[in-house]
Amino acid sequence: MAKTSFTSVDDYLAAQPTAAREILSRVRNTIRKAIPNAEETISYQIPTYKLAGATVIYFAGWKEHFSLYPATQTMLADLGDDLAPYKIAKGTIRFELLEPVPLQLINRIAKHRANEVAAKARTRTGPAKTRPATKQSAKRGTR
C-alpha cells in the first residue's frame, strides 16, 4: 500500500486490497457495535476508536494479517486462553488474513478495552481531594 494521509476510516479501507478491505470492514463493524459511543477517527494513519478523547482501540491491515492494538497486560490475562492461537507481541494482536475472522473475540477485545479506558478515567476523575484544615483555617472556620 502506498504511503497516504488518510482523513477517514472510509479512505483507509478504500486504499486496502479488495480481500483485506472486506475483512477490515467486518472488523470495523464489529468494533462499532461493541463500542457504539466511540468516536471513529484516524490516528497514526490507522483507524482509531476513542471514548471521551481517550484511545480505546486501533486496527490496521497488512499484507498477510490485520492487527488490533493495544493488547494490554490486563486483557492478555483476562482473555489469555482465547488469544492463545494468535501471535501477540509488543502490545499487538495479529490475525492472519487467510484464517476465519474471530468476530466474537474482536467484540470482546473492544469491550474489554472500553472498560479499561472507562476504569482509568474513573480513577483520574474520582472524588475531589480536600486539603486538611490548618490551624489558621480551623480558627477562622475556613480551609
Digit-coded pLDDT (tens) for 128-139: 444 555 555 455
pLDDT at 137: 47
- 67 versus 141: the higher-pLDDT residue is 67
What confidence tens digit (pLDDT) does each residue in 8-30 have?
999 999 999 998 999 999 999 99
Whether 4 is covered by a domain: the verdict is no
- With residues binned 3-state (H G I as helix, E B as strand, rest as coil), the percentages for the chain, rounded to 5, are 45, 20, 35
Note down the domain range covering 70: 9-140
Whether 1 is covered by a domain: the verdict is no
What confidence tens digit (pLDDT) does each residue in 34-64 have?
999 999 999 999 999 999 999 999 999 999 9
| Position 44, amino acid | Y
Whether 2 is covered by a domain: the verdict is no
Q: What is the CATH number for 66? A: 3.90.1150.200
Instruction: Give this prediction's pTM.
Output: 0.82
* 8-state DSSP, 1: -
Q: Please state the domain count of the chain.
A: 1
